[in-house]
Amino acid sequence: MPNAVITGATQGIGKAIAEKLLEQGFSLAICARNQEELDSLKTGWQARYPQATILALKADVGVKEEVLSFAADVMDEFAVVDILVNNAGIYLPGNIETEEDGHLERLMSVNLFSAYHLTRSLLPTIHQSRKGHIFNICSVAALKAYPGGGSYSISKYALLGFSDNLREELKDTTIRVTALSPGAVYSRSWSSSGVAESRIMQVSDVADMLWASYSLSAMANVENIVMRPQKGDL
């Protein structure tokens, strides 16, 4: 049975990806900060997919030591990791001149450093897969500066740059690296925004695109995926 690791998988895009991979016969290791949500998801998923091994571990990916501890627990359970999805992220709007002190450090620690440290830790197990694939969930905020982007946009630009450098380093291996940059997706943060659900994408759209990319032959690597609502960004 193939294995996948997903950060920030208790809601939104991460949860949709987790459920897509379970449907496809994967075992999972996920992490998030809320233990109750993790336990509830694991119970429900285990009932639906009894053949799967599911690790649901509490970890604040903004803290390096917790990322490394999560990675160690994953490697204790899985000798091979086939898919790594660096999905965990936080959004704090602001402008560079006026945003609160510490915004950049917090956003970089969650949106970039977590992916960097987890990927470095798990690469030995990903190398053991004949079809290893690393997905970094970036954002259209990584592609173009916009008002109020501030440190959030900086952190997503950095994650995209990390993806490009990692792909270059791994191109002579069997590991593929894909940066997936969605625009507005209907998740918890948008449900109370007043924006019509029909105006923006579904989390399942992102999960389906990830699976389509993974399902290609080993000789094909989709380097960058950009997804936007049909009517454009909000």
DSSP string over 87-134: ---------TTTSPTTHHHHHHIIIIIHHHHHHHHHHHHHTTSTT-EE
- SS3 assignment, position 26: coil
- Token pair, residue 100, equals 């609160």
Task: Tell me which DSSP letter residue 199 carries.
Answer: G
Residues 27/6, Cβ–Cβ less than 8 Å: no
| Torsional class of 182: left (φ above 0), alpha (ψ -120 to 50), beta (otherwise) | beta
Protein fold of 3-227: Rossmann fold (3.40.50)
Query: Hey, which residues are catalytic here?
Result: 152, 156
- Quote the distance between the C-alpha of residue 169 and its chain's center: 20
pTM: 0.96
Reading the chain (234 residues) residue by residue, the pLDDT tens digits are 999 999 999 999 999 999 999 999 999 999 999 999 999 999 999 999 999 999 999 999 999 999 999 999 999 999 999 999 999 999 999 999 999 999 999 999 999 999 999 999 999 999 999 899 999 999 999 999 999 999 999 999 999 999 999 999 999 999 999 999 999 998 776 766 778 888 899 999 999 999 999 999 999 999 999 999 999 988
Torsion sign, CA atoms 7, 8, 13, 15: positive
Measured distance CA(224)–CA(201) in Å, rounded: 18
C-alpha distances in Å from residue 114, one per residue of 20, 80, 88:
23, 20, 8
- Each domain of the chain, given as residue ranges in start order, spans 3-227
Which helix (H) or strand (E) is 178 found in, with range? strand 176-182
> What pLDDT score does 194 carry?
76
**Residue 187 confidence (pLDDT):** 78
Q: Is 7 exposed, middle or buried (0-12, 13-18, 19+ CB in 10 A)?
A: buried
Alpha helices in the chain (DSSP H): 12-23, 35-48, 64-77, 103-108, 114-126, 150-170, 188-191, 203-214
